[in-house]
DNA sequence: GACAGTGTGTCACTAAGAGACACCTTGGGT
DNA sequence: ACCCAAGGTGTCTCTTAGTGACACACTGTC
């Protein structure tokens, strides 16, 4: 009869951690040998679980890539989540970015490159492309809540959804662009200036939402 | 040694027609009994082909839904494709819509409702959601060419891609909204005024692209 | 009428993913 | 200390999504 709120919450996070763990191995294998050549058994063995358990946590093979993709945008998403209403997007991103160096664990860097490899693979593997899009679909839902909050539901719900969708779309395109740039190793110079990158994101979001997302509220 | 340009072109269109045919049956079955309960054999039998042939035309079961989804947006996409540079988006859509009643074959209406059923199903079936997103990913690529053409590659390629992505995103959200409205049968009144709908699309695209797509060129 | 090319059917096969059941943790109550 | 309920996992089994290989049918060309 007694609920266990801590147990439930713990389980959810435990589950998320496990999914990420599996996803890391899966993404690595996908990158090293391609999606088709990677079997569920192989993923299971790599992460030290039974194959059956893999399918308990992922609805199919491609979707094993989703958590690393989500992890790749988690940084930006976290920043947007903590965006206080009274600040402009540019100010907030700049501030977050300033205090980012110390609190970002090194593991995130590995995840970041893994996520970039996934989008690269998505160019040739339609299955991964759909996983990539599904991950951003998730981002869109989260952004929808945030934009709904900032717009205070003054506009229609539909309007909020469009803003969220447009913002997510430009974020995705920027991610694809940056990912490609990093992996080709072309010019890392444009990435070096983190503030320029954040300004780029902020500007893109502002444009895509017709200015609805960007300005401080009230 | 001799190419057959007519034959090749014919094949491509023949293939597209066949894919659509298969897709219609698949979508119908998906809607009637759910995706999981619909087998490849069943789709094959419904369309009068061997199962093997189904998998020659579609990489997996879910993607069987893509052609009807594409068909669902083909109307709008066609309009945007024929958008002359010297007209505004609003004017062009209104003009196209005026001369639309006569040239739209009735079969399109059935496809339209089928497409709407698919997005409805996508709410509960992640596999269909990814098919839906993949179809719009295709739309985005097409829009990318169009926007690149209209912007004359004056802006960066990246900018064109962001505009295309944002525009596609709002079109998708509007489609989802309209589809939901039609199927719930709530108020068809807001759909009755075709011109209002087209103005809605035009406005959304204009906003999402920061005005980059909408105005006449030069 | 022989020919190339392309699309389809049939058969055999691999692997994705689910169902059923037993086991083993964890954590809480007595 | 003991038991018990809940939920995650392994093992076994089975269905079916999806592929490879090969033969056959169709179509247009020389």
Q: Tokens for B5?
A: 């340009």
Q: How many residues does chain A have?
A: 218
pLDDT in tens, A173-189: 999 998 888 888 766 66
pLDDT in tens, A37-85: 999 999 999 999 999 999 999 999 999 999 999 998 888 898 899 999 8
The answer, yes or no, to whether residue A7 has pLDDT greater than 60, is no
User: How high is the mean pLDDT of chain B?
Assistant: 87
Q: Which residue of A has its CA nearest to B166?
A: A166
Tell me what pLDDT residue A198 has: 85
> To 5 degrees, how large is the angle CA A19–CA A134–CA B24?
130
Tell me what pLDDT residue B3 has: 42
Pairwise pLDDT comparison (A105 vs A171), residue with the higher score: A171
In whole angstroms, what is the distance from residue A84 CA to residue A185 CA?
Answer: 35
pLDDT in tens, B115-139: 999 999 998 999 999 999 999 999 9
Any strand D atom closer than 7 Å to B41 CB:
yes
Please compute, for residue B191, the number of CA atoms within 13 A of its CA located in the half-sphere on the CB side: 13
Q: Tokens for B72?
A: 């669902």
Tell me what pLDDT residue B8 has: 41
Domain locations along chain A: 5-64, 65-208
Residue of B165, B167, B205 to mutate for A, most A C-beta atoms under 10 A: B165
Pairwise pLDDT comparison (B217 vs A100), residue with the higher score: B217
Closest Cα to residue B169, out of B121, B128, B133?
Answer: B133
In whole angstroms, what is the distance from residue B38 CA to residue B41 CA?
Answer: 8
Confidence of residue B7 (pLDDT cuts 50, 70, 90): very low
The answer, yes or no, to whether residue A35 has pLDDT greater than 50, is yes
Mean pLDDT of A151-156: 72
Q: What is the CA radius of gyration of chain A?
A: 19
Tell me what pLDDT residue A106 has: 64
Name the least confident of A201-210, B16-25, B83-92.
B83-92
Name the H helices within chain B: 5-33, 40-47, 51-57, 66-81, 89-98, 107-122, 126-151, 157-184, 189-192, 194-208
Closest Cα to residue B138, out of B77, B96, B50?
Answer: B77
Closest Cα to residue B173, out of B145, B197, B192, B201?
Answer: B201
The answer, yes or no, to whether residue B68 has pLDDT greater than 60, is yes
Residue of B138, B144, B162, B214 to mutate for A, most A C-beta atoms under 10 A: B162
**What distance lies between CA A86 and its chain's CA centroid?**
25
Q: How far is A165 from chain B (nearest CA, A)?
A: 5
Are the beta carbons of B22 and B14 closer than 8 angstroms?
Answer: no
Alpha-carbon distances of A196 from A70, A189, A201, B179, rounded to whole Å? 23, 11, 9, 40
- A5-64: which CATH number, 2.40.100.10, 1.10.10.60, 1.10.10.10, 3.30.450.40? 1.10.10.60
Phi-psi domain of B80 (left: phi exceeds 0; alpha: psi -120 through 50; beta: other): alpha
Separation between the CA of A51 and the C1’ of D1 (whole angstroms): 38
Tell me what pLDDT residue A155 has: 67
Name the least confident of A8-22, B50-64, B95-109.
B95-109
Any strand D atom closer than 7 Å to B24 CB:
no
Pairwise pLDDT comparison (B50 vs A72), residue with the higher score: B50
In whole angstroms, what is the distance from residue A121 CA to residue B190 CA?
Answer: 43
- As to burial, measured by CB atoms within 10 angstroms (0-12 exposed, 13-18 middle, 19+ buried), residue B124 is exposed
Any strand D atom closer than 7 Å to B2 CB:
yes
What percent of chain A has a predicted confidence (pLDDT) above 90? 56
Tell me what pLDDT residue A105 has: 65
CATH level 2 (architecture), domain B65-208: Orthogonal Bundle (1.10)
- Residue A5: CB atoms within 10 Å: 8
What percent of chain A has a predicted confidence (pLDDT) above 70? 87
Separation between the CA of B21 and the C1’ of C9 (whole angstroms): 19
Separation between the CA of A127 and the C1’ of D18 (whole angstroms): 14
Q: Which residue is nearest to nucleotide D7 (CA to C1')?
A: A11
In whole angstroms, what is the distance from residue A159 CA to residue A165 CA?
Answer: 10
Domains A5-64 and A65-208 share a fold: no
In whole angstroms, what is the distance from residue B63 CA to residue B60 CA?
Answer: 6
Tell me what pLDDT residue B107 has: 67
A200–chain B Cβ distance below 8 A for any pair: no
């Amino acid at each position: 009869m007694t609920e266990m709120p801590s147990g439930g919450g713990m389980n959810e996070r435990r589950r998320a951690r496990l999914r990420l763990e599996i996803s890391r191995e899966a993404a690595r294998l996908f990158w090293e040998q391609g999606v088709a050549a990677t079997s569920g058994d192989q993923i299971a063995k790599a992460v030290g679980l039974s194959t059956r358990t893999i399918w308990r946590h992922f609805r199919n093979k491609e979707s094993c890539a989703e958590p690393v993709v989500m992890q790749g945008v988690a940084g930006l998403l976290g920043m947007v989540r903590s965006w206080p209403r009274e600040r402009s997007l540019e100010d907030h991103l700049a501030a977050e970015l300033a205090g980012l160096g110390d609190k970002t664990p090194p593991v995130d860097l590995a995840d970041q490159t893994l996520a970039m490899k996934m989008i690269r693979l998505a160019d040739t593997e339609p299955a991964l492309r759909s996983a990539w899009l599904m991950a951003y679909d998730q981002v869109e839902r989260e952004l929808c809540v945030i934009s709904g909050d900032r717009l205070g539901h003054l506009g229609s719900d539909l309007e909020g959804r469009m803003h969220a969708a447009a913002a997510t779309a430009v974020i995705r395109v920027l991610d694809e662009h940056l990912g490609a740039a990093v992996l080709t190793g072309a010019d890392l110079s444009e990435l070096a200036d983190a503030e320029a990158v954040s300004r780029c994101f902020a500007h893109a979001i502002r444009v895509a939402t017709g200015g609805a997302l960007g300005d401080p509220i009230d």
